[in-house]
């Protein structure tokens, strides 16, 4: 799979496969094309080479790298979880507990810390019971201990849902230690290709 924009290949020869129950990482430095790859896999941007194959009726839970919520919006944690679908209270409770946010009660989303907000997005992705969780740097801005906990949470969710997880990260060691497979993207690797 390749994506060509503004006269260059942002990513090329990306070959990644996630089976049900697997944890696969995409690793790479800033600008290597990780988010671009994720968006292409989701079908949010078209590919210029190769193809994306999805299982029939594949349901994907996507946690984007950046999500801005208007801080003046009086939106509570539970309300956010219900924005897209009317889940039952028991389902909401379960998801909040699964990501370890149950102690907080029902705070305004704007008051959550960065790490808590990431967990809330994970709870939201989990509620739709996806076949594949696509997480774009879930541990971004989270300290080392917090990142450890977060990856444990992701692992428990994967086991509970039996879903595949494609996790974008900068942590090669983590990918090698815990992943079923990983793909490393190199920034600007393709810049010199096809010139001349
Ligand atoms: N629509 C676009 N048109 C042109 N260039 C783009 C477009 N989208 C992304 N890029 C460029 O493609 C490269 C890869 O961007 P991408 O966001 O995928 O990187 P990343 O690996 O996710 O980086 P980070 O670790 O910083 O999140 C960057 O150089 C970016 O500027
Ligand atoms: Mg990115």
Question: What is the rounded average pLDDT of the residues 133-151?
Answer: 93
The domains found in the chain, sorted by start residue, are 18-185 (3.40.50.300)
User: What separation in Å is there between the alpha carbon of 30 and the centre of ligand 2?
Assistant: 7
Cα separation of the two ends of the chain: 23
DSSP assignments along 55-96, one per residue? -TT--EEEE-S-----TTS--BHHHHHTSSS---HHHHHHHH
Nearest CA to ligand 1 atom 2: 5
Q: Tell me: the pLDDT tens digits for 13-32?
A: 999 999 999 999 999 999 99
Listed residue (12, 17, 13) closest to 182, CA to CA: 17
Q: Tell me: the pLDDT tens digits for 151-194?
A: 999 999 999 999 999 999 999 999 999 999 999 999 877 776 55
Ligand 2 being an ion, which residues bring their Cβ within 5 A of it? 34-35, 65
pTM for the full model? Answer: 0.94
Higher per-residue confidence, 178 vs 69: 178
pLDDT of residue 69: 83
pLDDT of residue 84: 86
Question: What is the rounded average pLDDT of the residues 115-141?
Answer: 95
User: What separation in Å is there between the alpha carbon of 11 and the centre of ligand 1?
Assistant: 9
Question: What is the rounded average pLDDT of the residues 85-112?
Answer: 96
**Residue 57 neighbours by CB distance under 10 Å:** 6
Task: For residue 168, give both structure tokens.
Answer: 């974008």
**Per DSSP, what are the bridge partners of residue 167?**
25, 135
**104-124 burial by CB neighbour count: b if 16+ within 10 A, else e?**
eeeeebeebeebbbbbbbbbb
Q: Is the pLDDT score of 41 beyond 70?
A: yes
Task: For residue 87, give both structure tokens.
Answer: 């889940």
Assess whether the C-beta atom of 158 lies below 6 angstroms from ligand 1: no
Give the range among 24-28, 70-74, 137-141 with minimum mean pLDDT.
Answer: 70-74
């Amino acid at each position: 799979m390749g994506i060509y924009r503004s006269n260059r290949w942002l990513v090329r020869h990306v070959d990644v496969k996630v089976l049900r129950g697997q944890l696969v990482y995409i690793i790479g430095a800033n600008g290597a094309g990780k988010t671009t790859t994720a968006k292409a896999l989701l079908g949010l941007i078209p590919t210029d080479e190769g193809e994306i194959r999805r299982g029939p009726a594949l349901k994907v839970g996507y946690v984007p790298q950046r999500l801005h919520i208007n801080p003046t919006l009086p939106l509570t944690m539970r309300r956010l979880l219900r924005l897209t679908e009317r889940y039952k209270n028991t389902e909401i409770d379960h998801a909040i507990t699964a990501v370890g946010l149950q102690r907080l009660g029902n705070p305004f989303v704007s008051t959550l810390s960065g790490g808590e907000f990431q967990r809330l997005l994970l709870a939201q992705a989990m509620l739709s019971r996806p076949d594949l969780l696509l997480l774009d740097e879930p541990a971004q801005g989270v300290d080392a201990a917090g990142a450890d906990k977060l990856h444990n949470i992701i692992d428990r969710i994967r086991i509970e849902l039996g879903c595949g997880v494609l996790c974008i990260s900068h942590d090669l060691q983590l990918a090698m230690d815990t992943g079923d497979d990983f793909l490393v993207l190199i920034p600007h690797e393709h810049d010199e290709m096809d010139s001349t």
